[in-house]
Amino acid sequence: AQTVTQSQPEMSVQEAETVTLSCTYDTSESDYYLFWYKQPPSRQMILVIRQEAYKQQNATENRFSVNFQKAAKSFSLKISDSQLGDAAMYFCAYFDPSGTYKYIFGTGTRLKVLA
């Protein structure tokens, strides 16, 4: 069964600095998708960034980028120039398009941004 592990329950970063959130996963599939979702306090989860496993190039969305290491089954999120609005829970998620079509989430990392 696929699993997703986020080993950092909480991280802090100074405003304008860079922070990296870690995620590892386990799967025997070769084609899949990985996501980072952001859940602000009392608000719904929103997609931050998405990576397709067959693409070697790391995805980038403005200040957010990933380091996707397929062989190591690692998928970290880098947030550059951190802003106060980045404070939230961040969830790493795995999606298998050939199997059950469900998202498997990690336990999350709470990111605090210090002014």
Partner 1 sequence: DTGVSQDPRHKITKRGQNVTFRCDPISEHNRLYWYRQTLGQGPEFLTYFQNEAQLEKSRLLSDRFSAERPKGSFSTLEIQRTEQGDSAMYLCASRTGTDGSTEAFFGQGTRLTVV
List residues near partner 1 by CB under 8 A: 4, 6, 9, 32-33, 35, 37, 42-47, 50, 52, 91, 95, 97, 100-108
**Measuring CA to CA, which residue among 50, 21, 41, 47 is closest to residue 85?**
41
24: phi > 0 → left, psi -120 to 50 → alpha, else beta; which? beta
Q: Which is nearer to partner 1, 52 or 67 (CB)?
A: 52
Looking at residue 44, what DSSP letter applies? Answer: -
Q: Which is nearer to partner 1, 101 or 115 (CB)?
A: 101
Q: Which is nearer to partner 1, 5 or 14 (CB)?
A: 5
Rg of the chain in Å (alpha carbons): 14
Among the residues of 6-107, which ranges form H helices? none
Q: How far is the CB of 101 from partner 1 (least distance, A)?
A: 6
Q: Which is nearer to partner 1, 57 or 115 (CB)?
A: 57
Tokens representing residue 59 in the block: 């995805």
**Measuring CA to CA, which residue among 46, 53, 59 is closest to residue 97?**
53
